[in-house]
Amino acid sequence: MNLSKGTEADEPDINLTSLIDVVLLLLVFFMITTSFVRESQIGIRLPEAGNAGPAQVLDERISIGVTAQGTYLLNGQALVDSRAATLEAAIAKVAADFSPTAINISADANASHQAVVTAMDTAGKLGYLEISIATVDAENGGN
């Protein structure tokens, strides 16, 4: 005796429409509530040289000094003007007596960033591979 009616049970259907609606609503919610940070609003805190070791004075390096007014000193001698071309010509003139790969830049704390970058760029154009920036030890009173 066969008690079943001969029809097999139908498989249940999963309605994906409501699941897609929920995922879409979550996506819109997170997009609206997320705050995006603009890079121009990020504050920059520059590093300090408080833990610097003792400075090594190397006689074979050319020394470029940048004053607070933006004028350049090459091995202690003031240049005629503060143009990059003048600095480049002066470095090229004294380069034969010094190491061809090392140069020292000592900038006043109040010197403009552009003046220091110009000195670094000029040294790079002339082929100097080792550019050092001189600092003082803040913990020992600038010695």
User: How much is the pLDDT for 136?
Assistant: 67
What is the CATH T-level fold of the domain 62-140, as seen in this structure?
A: Nucleotidyltransferase; domain 5 (3.30.420)
| 116 CB-side CA count, 13 A | 15
Q: CB–CB of 110/116 below 8 Å?
A: no
Q: Which is nearest to 132 in space by CA: 58, 77, 74?
A: 58
To the nearest whole number, what is the mean pLDDT of the chain? 76
Flag whether the pTM goes above 0.85: no
φ, ψ at 92 (rounded to 5°): -65, -35
Q: CB–CB of 50/139 below 8 Å?
A: yes
Domain boundaries, the chain: 62-140
Q: Report percent pLDDT > 90 for the chain.
A: 8
